[in-house]
Amino acid sequence: MSGAVVAGVDGSQHSLTAAEWAAREAARRGRVLRLVHASPPLPRRVSPVPGADAWQYVGEQMLGQTVADFRARDPDLEIDGEHIAAEPAEALLTAAAGAGLLVVGARGWGGFDGLAVGSVALRVAAMAQCPVVTVPEARRTGGGWDGAHTDEVQLGFDAHAPAEAPADFAFRAAQERGVPLRVVHAWALPPASPSVWMLTVLEEDRAMWEDQESQVVSDALRPWRERYPEVTVVPDVILLNPAEALVRASERAGLLVIGRRAATRPTELRLGPVAHPVLHHAHCPVAVVPHPAL
């Protein structure tokens, strides 16, 4: 988890909530917190030079005040700011090059009531080379997302094809927070599971398959249990589709970690069928961690 913790700020409460989460994470890791603000260049045919300059100046002033506010809150944390004249997603992706983590609010000023995740958050989650944490509006008062130290970290885990990077991220996050790690493995009944005589699944068959899945999870987790012996691991084998299982589990999480296959071609830069609905419906911050295709 080397590199700076980068957070996008646009003056909205959503972005400030995300920046507060990023500040706690930077302090936890002992890393620099870099606050980034983007001011898209105004078309010269629409705005004269003085107007365009004023637009950039307002953004720089807002960023400077935000950096000063965060430094006053935590004088021991190294904080800097970067103002980039570019579209927000492009600015964040540029700033995150070489970063250890990129943190964004689920949406900013451009969103509307009822919108769970905005286009900028979706784009950077799908394209960034480093892990991206999307922070929704705080569900708690007085302490934000990290206000309760009993919150567990959760990991979306496919025990049949375990991905190294998301699992490492989740185990380290649980270790640094001193909380349990719940490993959520979703499974489905075999295609031929219904009884020959009726369109139902026999209870003893279901129990047998669940035991088999639990053993697969236990075997797959062994390398990480050995690597992080101090982390309390709670396997959670759920008979649901993966997205629904993760969304339900996230109600009791402080952080949910999921993986995303790193694209080999620009046309492949997209979120998968699990990450996309989880980002829209999860009840806690979600870390999307890229990993090589398995």
Q: What is the pLDDT along the chain (294 residues), one digit of tens a residue?
A: 569 999 999 888 889 999 999 999 999 999 999 999 988 776 655 555 555 566 577 778 899 999 999 999 999 999 999 999 889 999 999 999 989 999 999 876 554 444 457 889 999 999 999 999 999 976 543 444 554 444 799 999 999 999 999 999 999 999 999 999 999 999 887 765 555 444 566 677 678 888 999 999 999 999 999 999 999 999 999 999 999 999 999 999 999 999 998 865 555 557 888 999 999 999 999 999 999 876
Note the pLDDT of residue 82: 93
Note the pLDDT of residue 200: 61
Closest CA to 32 of 83, 89, 71: 71
CB count in 10 Å sphere of residue 165: 16
pTM above 0.85, yes or no: yes
CA–centroid distance for 14 within its chain: 15
Question: Over the range 99-128, which residues count as b (16 or more CB within 10 Å of their CB) and which as e?
Answer: bbbbbbbbbbeebeeeeebbebbbbbbbbb
| Six token digits for residue 149 | 């130290």
* Whole-angstrom distance, CA of residue 95 vs CA of residue 152: 30
Provide CB contacts within 8 A for 6, sequence distance 6+: 22, 34, 36, 92, 95, 96, 99, 101, 102, 103
* Whole-angstrom distance, CA of residue 94 vs CA of residue 85: 11
* Whole-angstrom distance, CA of residue 194 vs CA of residue 209: 13
Strand 253-261 to 286-291 pairing: parallel
Q: What's the one-letter identity of residue 67?
A: V
